[in-house]
Each structure stands twice: as structure tokens, then as C-alpha cells.
Amino acid sequence: MENIIPLICETAKAAGKLALERRKNFEDVRVFSKETPADLVTDVDREVERFIVERLKKATPEFGFIGEEYGVTEGSSGWAYCIDPIDGTTSYVHGSPVFCVSIGVLKEDEFYAGAVYAPQLDELYYAEKGKGAFLNGTPIHASKCRSLGEALCATGFGCIRAGKEKNNLEYFVKIVPQLQEIRRTGSAAFDICQVAAGRFDGYWEFYLHQYDIAAGAIIAMEAGALFTDVNGEKEYLEKGLVCAAPGVHPLLCRELH
């Protein structure tokens, strides 16, 4: 779709600046718990999502919306935005720089375009189907790593935050001793983009939501990373996500069975 990348990139950057501005007076920010005490949301998450929706709706009124805070709004075109206004809310609350605004574009439920902006780092990742992936205007590519022993990977524990009985700890204990190193940023969108940029060689996590992955997915795939569930299929939300360099992806999938 013409001009979709400038639209979502400019919107993501403006939304990120809004989030940063609000954090300057953090004593005025209200913090709430969702389903569990560890699952945080702030009034800034909600304010930023409203800002994004209002801006995008003016430009493309026929699009639907899938947002973390305000749910689903049907559109009339088969196109939809998938929005996580602050991915990494816990980091945002604690003053960590690793949080981001994530705006994905779906065409008939397929990943089409995405923009992920980490405002405190001033890093803008974006991609459109068939046109490559970029970080601040420079093309990015997945790494050429081919072994777990040389791999820097990332993971997350949304499963624990959600209070799931079956969680990632058993896989973490199994996989980490085989890696060169592991990282934990607290933002699925950011982790996926690090794989796209070749900074991480792989990432896995369970119990993610569509708004967590929609923008990062197309960025990773356009950068040459593999983006599947643990079985190499597309049931990312039900079976768990593996996003990795082509040489690492099958190795991670094997360990996650």
C-alpha cells in the first residue's frame, strides 16, 4: 500500500516522543495491574494507544484496529493495524531504556508492514513486504550464525507474568548452557528486531499476543530471519514463537520440543 511506511514510522516516532515526555513527570503517571500483579499497565499506555489510533484513523479510516489496551475495531477494507503502544511497560515503569512503540499492518490477517520505535534509544525499525528491513534508514539482515555455542539469544517470561502453569523455565535451563550468552530485554518487539538486525541470533517465547509480534514479524522476515512456531508452522500464539537466523532456527526448534 502506497505511503504506509512513512505513515506508520512517523506515527510510531510521535507516539514514542509522547511516551518519553510523559515519563519526565513519572510521579503523575498512574500504574495499574492487569490479570496479575506482575502484568503492568499505565495511563500512558492508554494515552499513547489513543494517540496512535486517532492519527492513523484520520489517514486510513477504512482500516481496522487491534490494540493491546482497547481491543478490536473492525474495518471495511481487509486491512488492520496491530498496536502495542508501549511494549515493555515494566521497563518503562522502572526507567529502563528498553521499551518501544510497535505498529504492525495486517492485510487479510497476513503480516504486511511494521514499524518498531525505541524512543530512548532513538532506533526505528521498519519493513514492508518484499522491500527489505531497515534500522534508521540502513538495511539490516539476520546473522550468519550456525551453532548454539556461538549464538547470542534472547527470551522472555510472559508465561510467568500470566500465571501459566507450564512455562519457559524448563526450556531456559535446557537451552542457556548451550548458548554463548542469553539476554532478557522485556520487550518481544525489541527482541525480534534485534534478531532482524543480526545483534541477536535467536529469540523464543511462549504466550505472546498478536500485538506483541505483528510489527516485528515482517521486519524479521524481510531481514532474512525465520519466524515460526516451535514446529516450524504459523501457530505462534498457541505453540510458542521462534525467531532466529536461518542457521540457528532449526537448532532452537529442536530444543523446544
3-state helix, strand, coil in the chain (%, to 5): 35, 25, 35
Within-domain flag for 181: yes
Pairing of strands 64-67, 79-87: parallel
Q: Which residues of 121-140 are buried (b: 16+ CB within 10 A; e: fewer)?
A: eebbbbbbbeeebbbeeeeb
| d(C-alpha 159, C-alpha 172), whole Å | 12
| d(C-alpha 172, C-alpha 154), whole Å | 10
**Quick one: 19 and 117 in the same domain?**
yes
Q: Which domain holds residue 190?
A: 148-255
**Quick one: 209 and 99 in the same domain?**
no
**Quick one: 128 and 217 in the same domain?**
no
**Quick one: 171 and 219 in the same domain?**
yes
Within-domain flag for 13: yes
**Quick one: 184 and 228 in the same domain?**
yes
| d(C-alpha 160, C-alpha 61), whole Å | 38
Which 3 state secondary structure label does DSSP give 205? Answer: strand
The pLDDT assigned to 161 comes to: 66
Pairing of strands 79-87, 123-128: unpaired
**Quick one: 83 and 18 in the same domain?**
yes
Within-domain flag for 143: no
| d(C-alpha 157, C-alpha 160), whole Å | 5
CATH code, domain with 251: 3.40.190.80
**Quick one: 8 and 133 in the same domain?**
yes
Within-domain flag for 142: no
The pLDDT assigned to 228 comes to: 98
What does pLDDT average to in each consecutive run of 10 residues of the chain (257 residues)?
A: 93 98 90 81 95 97 94 92 96 95 96 98 98 98 98 88 76 97 97 98 95 97 98 93 98 95
Within-domain flag for 96: yes
Which H/E stretch holds residue 126? Answer: strand 123-128
Domain end (from 137, 166, 189): 137
**Quick one: 14 and 75 in the same domain?**
yes
Domain end (from 75, 110, 137): 137
What is the per-residue DSSP string for 63-114?
Answer: -EEEETTTEEE--SSSEEEEEEEEE-HHHHHHT-S--EEEEEEEETTEEEEE
Could you give the number of structural domains in the chain?
Answer: 2
Q: Are 76 and 62 in contact (CB under 8 A)?
A: yes
**Quick one: 162 and 233 in the same domain?**
yes
Domain end (from 114, 137, 160): 137
Backbone angles phi, psi at 179, to 5 degrees: -90, 160
CATH code, domain with 72: 3.30.540.10
**Quick one: 60 and 154 in the same domain?**
no
The pLDDT assigned to 1 comes to: 73
End-to-end CA distance of the chain: 38
Contacts (Cβ under 8 Å, ≥6 apart) of 146: 245, 247, 248
Task: Give the chain's radius of gyration (CA, Å).
Answer: 17
**Quick one: 211 and 187 in the same domain?**
yes
**Quick one: 133 and 154 in the same domain?**
no
Active-site residue numbers? 68, 84, 86-87, 89, 212
The pLDDT assigned to 162 comes to: 63
